[in-house]
Amino acid sequence: MSGQSERNLSLNLNQGSQGLSKRLLRSQLGRELRILVRSPADVVNPLMFFALGVMLFAVGLRGEREVLAEFAPVVIWVLVLLANLLSLENLYRRDFEDGSLEQLVLLARPGFLAVLGKILAHWLQAGLWLCLVAPLAGLALFLSPDQAGFLFITLLLGTPALSLLGSVGAALTVGLGRGGVLLAVLVLPLYLPVLIFGASAVLENMAGFSTSAQIYWLASITMLALTLAPLATLAALRISVEQ
Amino acid sequence: MSLKTLWHKLGSPRWFYELSGPWTTGFGVAAALLLAVGCVWALAIAPEDYQQGNSYRIMYIHVPTAILAQSVYMTLGVAGVILLVWRMKLADMVLACAVPFGLWMTALALVTGAIWGKPTWGTWWVWDARIVSMLVQLFLFFGLYALREAIPRADAAGRACAVLAIVGLVNIPIIKYSVDWWLTLHQPSSNLLTGPTMPSEMYLPLFVNIIGFYCLYAYVLLASLRLEILRREEKTQWVQQQLQQPLPQQPQAV
């Protein structure tokens, strides 16, 4: 036993900082997921909001089949943006209040990996579930199964960008008493390209056109956000923690 | 003076305050002259458009404000980088002072565009790519303004705005491209640059007005920067001395 643990230790030492970063990301993600499992309301509330929004649109449009199918991609994408936005408030709030956010900013090295762990957990909490529920909503709004499946793919590519971009806004407003409306004003303009490419991909797919351009754009926006947003978030968190 | 010493000297608000006095007056006079010449030329002398008649003349306000709105956002992004990297006080003040001007320019561009749209397109508002990009820009400016208002501590507010300005600057090309791509796919946009080219009698006053608006921007920015410097350095000795000097053009109390 002791031989093996020594080997593990030396393995970790050999891996050097890379191994440490991996462990940091894993432990941060593990912590967030444990918190998530213990507070299921954080998962359920955005989904309920989303379902309510779909219902309001469907009833408001008198449940008419052609109209609903025509508007479904845009309605679903807009509701996904808003549900995501609502769940952002809690992304850093609790950690800010109990002081663990300060520890994270001060101690975690490299800090952007710890932030990335938090953002990834947020995506698993809000984005992934919305991705899973949205195709069902699509079916309820009379999309064909193929179209609903395609909607799922666009959401899967686009929602990580929402969590990443939104995390910058959440980090900037976390120190403020009521950041809610301000958060929406800061974040929603940045969401516009994701909405355009996501919704237009589904619309063009329904009309039978090629949608590779939108898919590539969604993927590249997500990749760009993945590289830059954690750094911006970290800078914003440093400012928020100081005040 | 070498560029490097200039860079270091910009770190001192006092130095900047003393230097910027004559520049402020200069830009103010230049803006007044250029805008007076440009507007008279544009409104009275430039020929009527053979299609749009006199209504096209609002272009002489609309185009400069739209150009300025984008330039101001560029300034904010650059100031944001300088603030975060070098912690220069002046960059923080630029971030604070340029936002209201940018907000006004964007709003003016949208309003004049709507007024121009009524006689030429027959409607106040269309969801055209350029208009929507301008509208998004208005929201970005407003976000910067609202964030600064919301954060109580001045230096934290400045750096938070810097982060937001940089994020916005990275996003603006993507937003513009996506909006262009999506909205012009379905309806052709009527715009100035691809339309019939303007003769020089029409173009020159526009050029004068654009330069005039840039001078106005420089004047407003410098004047509000000087005020901001006095406000923030209130406790220092040199500001106290400045404030004790009698203002030359102060009106007599009755």
Q: What is the domain-level CATH number for residue B77?
A: 1.20.120
d(CA A231, CA A212): 29
Report yes or no: B69 and B106 within 8 Å, Cβ to Cβ. yes
Picking from A182, A196, A200, the nearest residue to B150 by CB comes out as: A182
Q: How confident is the model at residue B15 (pLDDT cuts 50, 70, 90)?
A: confident
Q: Which domain holds residue A63?
A: 22-242
Residue B159: closest C-alpha in chain A:
A239
For chain B, the domain total comes to: 1
Q: What is the mean pLDDT of residues A88-105?
A: 86
pLDDT band at B248 (very low <50, low <70, confident <90, very high): low
- If you count residue pairs, one on A and one on B, with CB atoms under 8 Å apart, how many are there? 77
The string of pLDDT tens digits covering residues A33-86 is 888 888 888 889 999 999 999 999 999 988 888 888 889 999 999 999 999 998
- What lies within 8 Å, CB to CB, of B207 at 6+ separation is none
Question: How many angstroms separate the CA of residue B73 from the nearest CA in chain A?
Answer: 15
pLDDT of residue B8: 80
- Binary contact (A217, B178; C-beta < 8 A): yes
What's the mean pLDDT in A98-113? 82
B130-169 residues touching A, CB cutoff 8 A: 136, 139-140, 142-143, 146-147, 150-153, 156, 159-160, 163-164, 166-168
**In the predicted model, is pLDDT for residue B105 greater than 90?**
yes
What's the token pair of residue A134?
A: 């949205």
A124 falls within a domain: yes
Mutate to test the interface with A, among B103, B136, B148, B163 (most CBs of A within 10 A): B163
A9 found inside a domain: no
Query: Does B203 map to a domain?
Result: yes
> Model pTM?
0.86
DSSP at A4: H
B49 bridge partner residues? B53
CA distance A160 to A122: 9
> Which is nearest to B187 in space by CA: B124, B126, B133?
B126
Secondary structure class of B53 (helix, strand, coil): strand
Residue A3 has pLDDT above 50, yes or no: no
ipTM of the complex: 0.84
Residue A141 dihedral angles phi and psi, to the nearest 5°: -90, 20
**Mean pLDDT, all residues of chain B:** 85
Per-residue pLDDT, averaged over A189-212, amounts to: 91
Task: Say if A43 falls within a structural domain.
Answer: yes
pLDDT band at A11, cuts 50/70/90? very low
A182 in contact with B at a CB cutoff of 8 Å? yes
The domain of B157 spans 22-40+58-231
pLDDT for A110-135, tens place per residue?
788 888 888 999 999 889 999 999 99
Cα angle A8, A11, A12; round to 5: 90
Residue B237 within any structural domain of the chain: no
Cβ–Cβ below 8 Å for B156 and A243:
yes
Contact B160 A240 (CB under 8 A): yes
Pull the structure tokens for residue A242: 């100081």
In chain A, the number of structural domains is 1
Inside any domain, residue A86: yes
Cβ separation B147–A172 shorter than 8 A: yes
Residue in B closest to A171 by C-alpha: B160
Rounded Cα distance, B106 and B131, in Å: 10
CA nearest to A111, candidates A26, A170, A24? A24
Residue B114, CB half-sphere, CA atoms under 13 Å: how many?
Answer: 11
The answer to whether B63 touches B89, Cβ cutoff 8 Å, is no
Does residue A153 lie within any of the structural domains? Answer: yes
| A140: its two tokens | 């309820």
A193 to chain B, any CB pair closer than 8 A? The answer is yes
The pLDDT value given to residue B128: 83
A163 occurs within a structural domain: yes
Residue A27 belongs to some domain of the structure: yes
Does A237 reside within a domain?
A: yes
